[in-house]
Amino acid sequence: MANVIVEPFSLTEDRYDQSEFTGRLKRISSLFNPLYLFASAEEIAEAQQLLADYGAGKESALNTNPSELWDARSLIDARVHPDTGKPVPRFLCFAAYAPLQPPIIMGLMWPGAGMASALFWQWWNQSYNVAVNYANRNEASTLTDSELALAYGAGVTTAMGATLGFAKLTERMVKKFPAASGTLKMFIPFISIVAAGTVTLVVVRRGELTNGVAVSDSDGNVYGNSKKAGMVGISQCAIARVLWNIPVLILPPLFLARVRRTAFLRNNPKMDFPILTATVTGAIVLGIYPAQAVFAQRASIDAKSLEPEFQNRRHPTTNELVQTYWFNKGL
């Protein structure tokens, strides 16, 4: 059996190369791994203690297999808030995102459900998204309760408004293209989700547009806050949200258009909805991980792309001109 090469452990550096898409995809897959939902409070505490002992230089931890140390760090990254050091509520951590999508999808696409049901599930989805954002918020964030309420209201209003608007538009289009009615109706919930998610993102993180985000050099020396870097970060997060829904908007209609013409589905019409739900859920899972890996969380930006005050700045130790800055893009 071939030996598996494990990277030397680090408390600060990423296990996988974040300059490459495959490395970012591996990191995101670990962060969103639903298996971490089964970790108990005791297991999380043990992982925290192991990493603390390693940081303190205790011999027992230093002699631990690097693979075990990486597993402990992955668990902590997925389940523990980086600022408070406390576990994020189980169903509000990122590892729960994919497993919790099927019930929402079933609610949004339930056969024969009326507008009231569609609006309820849009409200539920936005409520869940805001709860996730709140549970995983940066503790240094200046977001007040009133601003959070504003973001919540904006997301729910956008989702419901888009649902109503696209439903009316679809009704008109179905009259012209009756054969495509099923496909057209599939677009309503997901277009609404994309629109609402983008609005909520901008409202929740608008402080990054008005106050900027901290930018630093490769050694971590901070040079101030940049509004332009904040704009880039939010734009990349918005693009990722659109990208992970593209598989849902393209793959299921194409797949189902073929399946619905088969003898199996004509003879078993009750299987239409289970197949629809499984197809859309699979498309969401396939979309989330690659979309989040398109951009690195620790993003870089050329000094020339920032405000004048960040140009011609020099490293405090080497006195070299800082040509590239780094900042936290967020998720």
Does the pLDDT of residue 1 top 50, yes or no? no
Tens digits of per-residue pLDDT, 147-161? 778 777 877 787 778
* Residue bearing the bigger pLDDT, 220 or 91: 91
pTM of the model: 0.73
Q: Residue 60 class from Cβ within 10 Å (0-12 exposed, 13-18 middle, 19+ buried)?
A: exposed
Identify the band that residue 181 occupies on the pLDDT scale cut at 50, 70 and 90. low
Q: Which pLDDT belongs to residue 70?
A: 93
The four Cα atoms 168, 173, 178, 182 give a dihedral, to 10 degrees, of -60
Quote the tokens at residue 222.
């901070």
The size of the chain, in residues, is: 331
Q: What is the mean pLDDT of residues 290-316?
A: 88
The DSSP code for 301 is: E
Pinpoint the alpha helices (H) of the chain.
21-31, 41-55, 59-62, 66-79, 101-108, 115-135, 145-176, 181-204, 207-210, 227-243, 246-259, 263-267, 272-293
Helix (H) or strand (E) holding 322: none
Does the pLDDT of residue 20 top 70, yes or no? yes
Buried b (16+ CB within 10 A) or exposed e, 208-238: beeebbbbbbeeeeebebbebbbebbbebbb
Distance in angstroms (rounded) separating the CA atoms of residues 237 and 234: 5
Does the pLDDT of residue 254 top 50, yes or no? yes
Distance in angstroms (rounded) separating the CA atoms of residues 140 and 130: 18
Identify the band that residue 2 occupies on the pLDDT scale cut at 50, 70 and 90. very low
The mean pLDDT of the chain is 81
Tens digits of per-residue pLDDT, 23-78? 989 988 888 888 999 999 999 999 999 999 999 999 988 889 999 999 999 999 88
**Rg for the chain, CA atoms, rounded:** 23
Identify the band that residue 22 occupies on the pLDDT scale cut at 50, 70 and 90. very high
Most confident range, picked from 2-11, 112-121, 321-330: 321-330
Question: In which residue are the tokens 């130790």 written?
Answer: 317
